[in-house]
Amino acid sequence: MNFVEISAKNVDDAISAALDKLGASRDEVDIEVLEEGSKGFLGLGAKSAVVRVTRKYDPEGVAKTFLKEIFLAMGLIVDIETKLTEKQLQINLSGENMGVLIGKRGQTLDSLQYLVNLVVNKGNNPYLSIFMDTENYRKRRKETLESLARNLARKVKHTRRDVVLEPMNPYERRIIHSALQNDKYVTTYSQGEDPYRNIVITMKKNNN
């Protein structure tokens, strides 16, 4: 629930009721008075005050709260650092046994990133891309994939036979495509449907 509209005898009572319903403090919300309300004359013609109270957009707070609940359920103690830019929320996780959060080929980390993306971008707030990392895994994985792409490209040039890579997520497929986009002899394309979509490295037509 991001906002509520509440009516009460006066503005202060309406605001207090709205804050209780949202479970928020006054500095966490924006308040708009829709009707000031009036006492009327001798109790006749009295009008209730109406306010709209909207929870402020706090993607960092939303992400941290969500992740803390997950890590608590997993029995992990994890430090969560966030950095918010205009279009992206960067999240770095640190602590002991971070391999559990990375998972096989980063699958657990990718799943956490996907879930945070859903939670942070729920509603009508400006869309933010989510980038989550721990122990510099993303950079290390990027270097590994770039090296793999170059090695497989050499194999394709030598054998002149296509190479089909294992299924990868969109982020990793972009790394492979980017690593070989300027290669004079080979090209890449994706095939299949997620989550089984993969990349094929093949000779360019003019080099067959």
Return the pLDDT at 1. Answer: 57
Which of 123, 174, 104, 103 is closest to 145 using CA atoms?
A: 174
Q: At a CB cut-off of 8 Å and minimum separation 6, what does 133 contact?
A: 90, 91, 92, 93, 109, 139
Encode the chain (208 residues) as per-residue pLDDT tens digits.
Answer: 577 888 888 888 888 888 888 888 888 888 888 888 777 655 566 788 888 888 888 899 989 999 999 999 999 999 999 999 889 999 999 998 899 999 988 989 999 999 999 999 987 578 899 999 999 999 999 999 999 999 999 999 999 999 999 999 888 999 999 999 999 999 999 999 988 899 999 999 876 5
**Domain 59-135 in CATH: superfamily?**
K homology (KH) domain (3.30.300.20)
Q: If one looks up domain 144-207 in CATH, what number appears?
A: 3.30.1370.50
pLDDT at 194: 83
| pLDDT computed for residue 129 by the predictor | 93
What are the φ and ψ backbone dihedral angles of 60, each rounded to 5 degrees? -65, -45
Quote the pLDDT of residue 57: 83
Question: What is the rounded distance in angstroms from the CA atom of residue 20 to the CA atom of residue 16?
Answer: 6
Q: Is 31 helix (H, G, I), strand (E, B) or coil?
A: strand
* Residues 48, 35 contacting (CB under 8 angstroms): yes
Segments making up each domain of the chain, as ranges:
3-55, 59-135, 144-207
What pLDDT shows up at residue 207? 65
**Terminal C-alpha separation, the chain:** 59
Listed residue (108, 172, 164) closest to 144, CA to CA: 172
Which CA distances in Å does 131 have to 43, 92, 189, 191?
A: 58, 8, 25, 25
d(CA 1, CA 32): 17
Residues of the chain by 3-state class (helix, strand, coil), percent to 5: 45, 30, 30
